[in-house]
Structure 1
Amino acid sequence: MTTFTDLNLCPELITTLKDLGYKQPTPVQAQAIPLVLAGHDLIAEAQTGTGKTASFALPMIDRLSRTPVEGEYHEIRGLILTPTRELAAQVGEHTLEYGRLLGMRVISIFGGVRFDNQIRKMKRGADILVATPGRLLDMLVQKKLSLAHLEMLVFDEADRMLDLGFIGEIRQLLAYMPEQRQTLLFSATLNDSVEVLADKLLREPKRVAIAARNSASQQVKQSVYAVDNGDKADVLSFLIHGGNWRQTLVFTRTKKRADQLTAELLEEGISAVAIHGDRTQRERTAALAAFTAGEVRVLVATDVAARGLDIDALPQVVNYDLPNQPEAYVHRIGRTGRAGQQGRAISLVAPDERRFLQDISALIGKPLQLQPVPILENGKLIEGGKLPEKKRNQSGKTRKGGANTKAASKAAKRAPLQPEEPVAPDTPGKRPSLFGR
């Protein structure tokens, strides 16, 4: 059995990991850490929840600690780029915690907060900077910081960074960095765009692949229910009440849908909050904190806002709307079934979403079969049965055994929600070609 000591990490990091309760490295940590410590560039393909933050943060801290900084000001020697504000904040917190015994100065900067406040944070510099591309570029252009002494660069969730259209910022950021550096690229999926990025930025990289490409977690039970679009809110309310779900992350395709669903859940007596691109950073942070602390049962989120959320032991994820990009489904359900825990992924599929379901099944190499919404028997949700021949798009209330609940029966009387185009408004427009290639 491999231990962190076997990975040749310095004694201070071993002590910190022991204090944090880390017993042994995950597969991605066991494979990636020695390669990074040896100075290699690295491409790592690993799903969310596999411990990838420690895979780059620990060896970065170890390598930088070998040449401690003298003087009050610390030049930036390690840079971790992340696609979202939430991920930047979480990676920064974890990295700071790992490097505490070594006096490692770690600072996170991202949009959504006052620019001058973050400039003040950087007055004494940082050993490691965690940043989103846009805010970092703003600071560099205004000459508020320098990357001239950069030794190590990490792209965290590179696939999502490209999905969000950050390739332009990445090209500009490279002009501020020395060419001689160690570069690490971590991604849940390695599509063609990520491979082109890696080919441009990395030198003779080593490769680590923990999960099969585009695979869904084996720890996640996936269920797909046939539901009319106008019935979705009532069916979700029924499932939450009937299953006594306490901590549920729900994905919608648009910001409007997120707000609308949150309001309807509150009307059903289910505590819920929403996070998306129109919410301020303060509102998003408060919503996540309330959900993590168990003060609310449901967190409703768009893909952009939810990427990088670090929530331990999340029991279930719901696709209120299927994503129109099948890779997003893999990222979504990666929020549950983490670190060896069992998880549930439930998708509510309207008739016009079945084409998305086919694309998802093809991507993950596993047929996802539509089934009726469970019925409630003796206080438990019971799955099974076949879709009625004439009512395949109904929510399951016609199954033998009676109506599901008051919420399910009410679904038939509800006016359907206004149809929306299957696009993600949080995401910028078409992605430009990578480096002109």
Structure 2
Amino acid sequence: MLYTKMASPLGLARSTSAARSISTLMRRSAIASVVSPYAAATASASRSAPLAISQCARTAFSSNLSQSIRALSQSSNTAEPAFAAAKAADVDLNQLPKDAQSSAARTKDATFASLRGSIDYSLLKALTVKPFGYETMSAVQQSVLHLLPELASGVGANSTPMPDGQGRDMLVKAKTGTGKTIAFLVPALEARLRSIQDVSKGRFSKPWLDMLKRHRPDLDVSSLSKKELDEITKQYVNNTVGALILSPTRELATQIADEAKKLLTHAPDLKVQLLVGGASRNFQINDWRRSRPDVVVATPGRILDLLNDVGMMREAMTACRTLVLDEADTLLEMGFRDDLQAIMKHLPAKVERQNMLFSATVSPEIRAIARASLQPDHRFVDCVPAGEENVHKHIPQYATVLETAEEQIPHILRLIAHDQLVNPGKSKTIVFAPTTKMTEFLADVIRDAQRHFPAQSSIYEIHSKKDQRARFNTSDRFRKDKSGASVLVTSDVSARGVDYPGTTRVIQVGIPSSKDQYIHRIGRTGRAGAQGRSDIVLQNFERGFLHFQLDDLPVNQLHVDDLAQEVETLAAKFDENPQEFAVPDEVFEAARQAKKELKKGGRGRDSFSTPGAKPPAEIRGPLTGKYESSELKPLIAKTLANMEESEESREVFTSLLGFYMGRGDELRTNKLAVLDGLKQWCVQAARMEKAPHLSDSFLQKMGMSMRDMRGGSSSSRGGRGGSGGGYRADSSRSFGRGRFSRDGDSRGDSRDFRGSRDGRDSRDNRDFRGSRDGRDSRGGRSNFGTGRDARQSRFGSDSSASKW
């Protein structure tokens, strides 16, 4: 590059391009008014004393130029010229205020492209090019990501304050389906990348210094060579957790891990660890050994289980840089408060880490956990505009109270058929059941009846009895399904946080565990402004839930006959004019694009075997009369014939009995009414010859007193609270909160797996137990970063042995 002398205040050699830049800026910007006087004065001084430029003049120049750049930086239109002027004039940007530095380097707007210069290029490329290809940020993404890069800078007592004076910890309130995952993943990954850079430059955080003192006490960190810094950087990335993200359910945790892996498409060195129950515990430990814990996504039960037993994980967590609680309200509702507090004891002090809580609601309980885990100066980001209704307020909601249990299955089939007729080529339905056994039962019935639906349908089934791999695969296939006629039958493992794009209807069979769960379920549809609909199908004894729990929601009552008439009208309309129900062109185009993407990925001729690439299902006729009761009842009877003499229906009855006996507050009815209602379901809906007999001792175990079994008081026999399924306003006091045969995920991983440890034998406790100071249970020194002891050969050679 050519250099030339110019009449500059400092008389330094500059590139011709830099000289041209300053010349242009001095003519066209407000900087000229500041630079010109000092340029003239110092030029005169340099002619008389070329080797002794006035230090006073130089200081005054830098000060006034900095003030001009600061003023220019207040406007996004002049930020880039100011930044260029500062660089060209050799002004130290570190001497400028932080807000001037950051705003001079970028222009803030609603596009992801405006993050250029604020985040690592690999993350920006993933967001704006491939694999995401995003253009515009959502409200919650703007609120969080525009705080970068300062948000991802160092933490600790000596860290630089944020420009606005608030802290880096965040409590974020945002509606479901608004892009929260990207909003917390990008800062977490950016912080990890920056912390690695800091270590490579010899800038160590307090938790990392403490770890070095424990494991390399002879190391002098004040004078490290380049080679030593490179070695320590490798140790840092292998032995510290960058970000710990806690999720209430395995499905949501898997979804977050997948998003993180996509964000790291162009940063392959960084790795994601997924720690959830249902997967092999030993595999997760070995994978931790072989890889590096840049991002750890976990459910509370599994991560606490591993922290209690595995020394290398426990030690790595002591230097965790970022903690994220996703769906924090759900974590508390599912009873994870104690687990969260136990996990935080393994983390650095909250002043030495960054903490982010994301929640759809901010209750007093959320405020309490925020006080425990966030810094006092944390910022509250509310992305729900004042007066804007939550998603469940604008979704059309319908409730059907069945006169007899015999109507249950025909009504569910009509609801699925109705959705396929009103959303040709776009139907995507989720059917929720209260227990695992009921989920299996409904899935079998719907799968057998699918040939009766208007379009050829794909039926999916998810519940806690499925192994984790099967659940992951099923969830992923349904998420990508664009066949236009798909049905997912699931328990509450899919109720919270999991995103199934394009879901057009949610059907709830029976009551959910709570009103909040009802809201979370219907939140699977109508996400991110899309259209959707919710239906809940209740038996007569469940009527109280509708009147006492959903009374403040816009729920419309739908009679069985009204739906039957509407479906019959649509069927006749299709037979008269099928073109009116043709699949829209844009749906076909989306399917063609999905097929192309799969071919690019090497799926070849088998691409249409994947639901995401199937051509949209078209409505098949004739349909007139197909959904009348006279047609549906024989179909259902044939489907149930194979179950009648089996134990399946009895097991469904037992699971429902256990579920409903603990729901007195929600149902406002007595236990005898619940029992009678479920017996009617066995005979009328499940087509059993007679209801199962229950012994007195069994009923007592279920919480029923002898008075209940004899029929209760006179008021419970005939009136409003009788066995006919009514409800009694004052009966809630007599009901407990017991749990029986509920879906395994209702509590989370800690109860499901803490006892069995995934089938591991007692030796695992000895193999992986370690203490914070690196000593195993026998008092010997363990290998930090490896989790090994004398039995390390049980897992073969440990690839992490060279970490220290």
TM-score normalised according to structure 2 size: 0.47
Deviations 1:21-42, CA, capped at 9 Å, x for gaps: 2111111111122347544211
Deviation at 1:358, TM superposition (A): 3.5
Post-superposition offset of 1:173: 0.9
In the alignment, the residues of structure 1 paired with residue 522 and residue 345 of structure 2 have an alpha-carbon distance, to the nearest angstrom, of 36
Q: In the aligned structure 2, how far is the partner of 1:114 from the partner of 1:223? A: 42
Matched, 1:234 2:415: no
Following the alignment from structure 1 to structure 2, what is the Cα–Cα distance between the partners of residues 315 and 403? 21
Tell me how far apart the structure 2 counterparts of residues 402 and 106 of structure 1 sit (CA, whole Å): 50
Q: Find the counterpart in structure 2 of residue 71 from structure 1.
A: 234
Residue 370 of structure 1 deviates from its aligned partner by 0.9
- Number of the residue aligned with 1:100: 265
* Partner in structure 2 of residue 114 of structure 1: 280
* 1:16 equivalent in structure 2: 126
SS of the counterpart of 2:128? helix
What is the CA deviation profile of residues 364-390 of structure 1, one whole-angstrom value per residue up to 9, with x for unaligned ones? x433121224222443599xxxxxxxx
CA shift, 1:317, in A, is 1.3
Give the CA deviation at 1:403. 7.6
Aligned-residue offset at 1:342:
1.3
Deviates more, 1:300-309 or 1:77-86: 300-309
Q: Would the alpha carbon gap of residues 213 and 138 (structure 1) be closer, same or farther in structure 2, given more than 3 Å must change?
A: farther
> CA separation in 1, counterparts of 2:569 and 2:252?
41
Give the number of the structure with larger relative contact order, counting CA–CA contacts within 8 Å between residues 6 or more apart: 1
Counting only pairs closer than 5 Å after superposition, residues 205-244 of structure 1 correspond to structure 2 as: 205-211=378-384, 215-217=390-392, 220-227=395-402, 228-244=404-420
Percent identity reads 28
Contact 2:410/2:629 (CA < 8 Å) preserved in 1?
Answer: no
Aligned partner of 2:374 in structure 1 is: 202
- Name 1:3's counterpart in structure 2: 111
How far apart are residue 13 of structure 1 and its match?
2.4
Classify the secondary structure of the residue corresponding to 1:207.
strand
Shift in Å, 1:80: 0.4
| Cα distance per residue 1:206-254 (max 9 Å; x no partner) | 1223347993346633222333444222211122234427421111111
Residue 142 (structure 2) aligns with: 30
Asked if 1:352 is matched to 2:460, the reply is no
Gap runs ≥5 in structure 1: 383-400, 432-437
The structure-2 alpha-carbon separation of the partners of 1:288 and 1:101, relative to structure 1 and needing over 3 Å to count, comes to same
1:161: how far off? Answer: 1.4
Residue in structure 2 matching 1:379, options 556, 570, 575: 570
- Residue type of the alignment partner of 2:110: T
State whether structure 2 residue 229 is matched by structure 1 residue 59.
no
Matched residue count: 410
Provide, for residues 238-282 of structure 1, a one-character-per-residue CA deviation record: whole Å limited to 9, x for no partner: 222344274211111111211111111123136533222222112
CA distance change for structure 1 residues 133 and 62 in 2, over 3 Å: closer, same or farther?
same
Q: Once the 2 structures are TM-superposed, how far is the Cα of residue 411 of structure 1 from its aligned partner?
A: 11
Alignment partner of 1:137 is 2:304: yes
> Is the 1:47–1:334 contact (alpha carbons within 8 Å) kept by the matching residues of 2?
no
User: 1:171-186 residue pairs with structure 2 within 5 A?
Assistant: 171-179=341-349, 180-186=352-358
Cross-structure match for 1:49: 177
Q: Distance between the aligned counterparts of 1:198 and 1:181, measured in 2?
A: 14
Which residue among 360, 365, 375 is the counterpart of 1:188? 360
After TM superposition, give the deviation of residue 154 of structure 1 in Å.
Answer: 0.2
Q: Quick one: which amino acid aligns to residue 139 of structure 1?
A: L
CA RMSD of aligned residues (A): 3.2
Question: Measured at CA, do residues 21 and 322 of structure 1 come closer, stay the same or move farther in structure 2, by a change above 3 Å?
Answer: farther
Find the aligned partners of 2:572 and 2:139 in 1 and give their Cα distance. Answer: 35
User: SS of 1:248's equivalent?
Assistant: strand
Letter of the aligned partner of 2:185 in structure 1? A
Match for 2:450 among 265, 269, 273?
269
* CA distance in 2 between partners of 1:372 and 1:408 (Å): 17
Please say if residues 35 and 42 of structure 1, whose CA atoms lie closer than 8 Å, have aligned partners that are also in contact: no
8 Å contact from structure 2 (residues 495, 517) kept in 1: no
**Which protein is richer in strand relative to its size?**
1
Moved more, 215-224 or 235-244: 215-224
State the secondary structure of the residue aligned to 2:434: coil
Structure 1 equivalent of residue 671 of structure 2:
none
User: 1:13 touches 1:58 (CA, 8 Å); kept in 2?
Assistant: yes
CA distance in structure 1 between the aligned counterparts of 2:635 and 2:540, rounded to whole angstroms: 16
* Farther off after superposition, 304-313 or 49-58: 304-313
The alpha carbon displacement at 1:152 in A equals 0.8
Change (3 A) 1:407 1:17: farther
SS of equivalent to 1:361: coil
CA contact (8 A) 1:248 1:314 kept: yes
Determine the C-alpha separation between the residues in 2 that align with 1:206 and 1:83.
23
Counting helix residues as a fraction of each chain, which structure ranks higher? Answer: 2
CA contact (8 A) 1:220 1:342 kept: yes
Contact 1:231 1:411 in 2 (8 A): no
Contact 1:238–1:408 (8 Å) recurs in 2: no
- Measured after TM superposition, the shift of residue 171 of structure 1 is 1.6
The alignment partner of 2:381 has SS state of: strand
Larger CA deviation: 340-349 vs 247-256 = 340-349
Question: Which range moves more in the overlay, 146-155 or 159-168?
Answer: 159-168
Judge conservation of contact 2:495–2:524 (CA < 8 Å) in 1. no
Distance 1:30 1:117, change over 3 A: same
Secondary structure, aligned partner of 2:529: coil
| Aligned CA distance change for structure 1 residues 242 and 222 (closer, same or farther; 3 Å) | closer
- Mapped to 2, the partners of 1:31 and 1:114 lie a distance apart of 38
Q: Is the 8 A contact 1:215 1:330 kept in 2?
A: no
SS in structure 2 at match of 1:223: strand
Find out whether 1:297 has 2:405 as its counterpart: no
Q: What letter is aligned with 1:199? A: R
Q: CA deviation at 1:407?
A: 5.7
- Please say if 1:333 is aligned against 2:522: yes
Q: Report what 1:367 is aligned to.
A: 554
SS state of the match for residue 173, structure 1?
helix
Give the Cα separation in 2 of the matches to 1:283 and 1:381.
Answer: 40
Unpaired segments of 5 or more residues in structure 2? 1-108, 152-167, 198-232, 422-426, 452-457, 574-624, 663-741, 751-804
164-173 vs 301-310, which moves further: 301-310
Tell me if the contact between 2:326 and 2:357 (Cα under 8 Å) persists in the aligned partners. yes
In the other structure, the counterpart of 1:258 is 439
**Aligned-pair CA distance for 1:333:** 1.1
CA distance in 2, matches of 1:191, 1:407: 49
Conserved 8 A contact 1:219-1:343: no
Q: 1:169 and 1:29, CA in 2 relative to 1: closer, same or farther beyond 3 A?
A: same
Native 8 Å contact 2:440 2:461 kept in 1: yes
**Residue 353 of structure 1, CA deviation:** 2.6
CA contact (8 A) 2:397 2:554 kept: no
Residues 351 and 62 of structure 1, relative CA distance in 2, 3 Å threshold: same
Match of 1:152 in 2: 322
| Paired AA for residue 114 in structure 1 | S
Counterpart contact for 2:419–2:504, Cα < 8 Å? no
- Provide the C-alpha distance between the structure 2 equivalents of 1:224 and 1:335, rounded to a whole number of angstroms: 17
Distance change >3 Å, CA 286–CA 64, structure 1 → 2: closer
Question: Counterpart of 1:71 in 2: which secondary structure?
Answer: helix
Q: In 1, are the aligned partners of 2:626 and 2:632 still within 8 Å (CA)? A: no
Structure 2 counterpart SS, 1:113 = coil
Shift in CA distance, 305/412, structure 1 to aligned 2, threshold 3 Å: closer
CA shift, 1:54, in A, is: 0.5
